[in-house]
Amino acid sequence: MSFDPGVIRAQFPALSIEDRGRPRYYFDNPAGTQVSQRVVDAMSHCLVNTNANLGGPFETSMRADQVVADARVAMADFLNAPEADEIIFGQNMTTLTLHLSRSIGRLFKPGDEIVLTRMDHDANVHPWLLMARDFDLTVRWLPFNLETFEFDLADLDNLLSERTRLVCVGGASNLLGTLNDVAEISRRSRASGAWTFVDAVQSAPHVASDVQEIGCDFLVCSAYKFFGPHQGILWGRREILEQLEPYKVRPAPDELPWCFETGTQSHEGIAGVEAAVEYFAWVGEIMATDWGEPHPGFSGRRKNVRAGIDCLFDYERGLSKRLLSGLATFPHLKVHGITATDALDRRVPTVSFTHGKLASETIAKLLAKQNIFVWSGHNYAVEAARALGIYDSGGAVRVGPVHYNSMAEIEHFLDALDGIL
């Protein structure tokens, strides 16, 4: 079977819900996606059958241990991580990043440098600004080009020096939609002796987050953005994690990965993560037989996950193309991101725009009245919104289709926008 939107949509119970006789149009996906039935089932199964704390000698606790162990293996497959013990669960990306930054900072000396970007979500900016303040580090800023909406990597080269210890960069921008070449950024950072911390929250729903291919040192993501529950996941290179002092309580284990998992985790959320990974693998298995071929080194679930993600992104590029070509027809409307139809592999379908006459918030509210869900504002991309000059004027309208959105929904959105504008 090739990609079949009907079969896909049937997996997601939320997609068929109506409010007051109106269907829901979920274009708020960059802020959080819907989940497949298998995620709902895994979470409720966990709450009913394996609801206990970890490490006990009795049935429910041993089963809960297994749930967490299986999910770690699943996430290692999703990220093509060398070892499952390098996977750390936590509340969300922001909490994990704030938590780890405290340990990372202890390894740096005053005057050491870190590179942050003007494109990233604040969750990959402010934890590091706080770290820089607390440990007397110097911050260097990587700008993005305001015409291409991409980084110029020559700028990165100019920032890197033997003093650079860490480069923090996003896989995809939650405002512009730009997909960054994190593999090349990691390569250049590594060549100058720096570690790379990749925020894959916005890229993970759309493209592979292969930590070995990227060559980064840390990668963090959130399952609720890739069709799973509210659960953060961090991968770190073992030899670096072992150098870090975990901030933990005394009775908690000293070994990886538990030493970085503070307190009791959401076991039901972790169970849902495994089901979210299984969903990608299912797509790869039943819809993407041809797509596994470009990844000859992969087998089993890793191959299926990879094939599934590639297959979904191929479909999403079609959605991006129609959305961008539709938006291009509206006078006074400006898209803040890549619009060239031959560059759709360099962006995710997240599209932000402003209108010369109507405020972004007004547009979002008028769409909401028609049960079309979009966000407006800076969406925590503080630096990017400032660079674009839209931070103080209400930010942009952000429309974020994913693979479960249909072409008919894009047409409906464009018609509704036409009516509003």
Ligand X SMILES: Cc1ncc(COP(=O)(O)O)c(C=O)c1O
Q: Structure tokens of 53?
A: 């704390």
- Give min distance, CB of 124 to ligand X, in A: 6
Helix (H, G, I), strand (E, B) or coil at 193: coil
Query: For ligand X, which is the closer residue by CB, 94 or 189?
Result: 94
Query: For ligand X, which is the closer residue by CB, 284 or 400?
Result: 400
Pairwise CA distance, residues 136 & 271, whole Å:
40
Q: Structure tokens of 118?
A: 């003007």
Pairwise CA distance, residues 109 & 130, whole Å:
15
Query: For ligand X, which is the closer residue by CB, 86 or 120?
Result: 120
113-117/138-142 β-pairing: parallel
Query: For ligand X, which is the closer residue by CB, 95 or 370?
Result: 95
CA nearest neighbour of 368 among 24, 14, 20, 18: 24
- Give min distance, CB of 415 to ligand X, in A: 28
Neighbours of 112 (CB within 10 A): 18
Helix (H, G, I), strand (E, B) or coil at 36: coil
Interior/surface letters 144-170, b for 16+ CB within 10 angstroms, e for the rest: beeeebbbeeebbeebbeebbbbbbbb
Residue 414: C-alpha distances to residues 28, 262, 330, 342, 417 (Å): 15, 45, 10, 21, 5
Query: For ligand X, which is the closer residue by CB, 309 or 417?
Result: 309
Binding site for ligand X (CB under 6 A): 31, 92-94, 121, 123-124, 170, 174, 199, 201-202, 222, 232
Query: For ligand X, which is the closer residue by CB, 119 or 259?
Result: 119
- Give min distance, CB of 174 to ligand X, in A: 3
Q: Structure tokens of 391?
A: 């931070």
Query: For ligand X, which is the closer residue by CB, 179 or 414?
Result: 179
Neighbours of 363 (CB within 10 A): 22
The dihedral built from the CA positions of residue 70, 72, 78 and 83, taken in this order, carries a sign that is negative
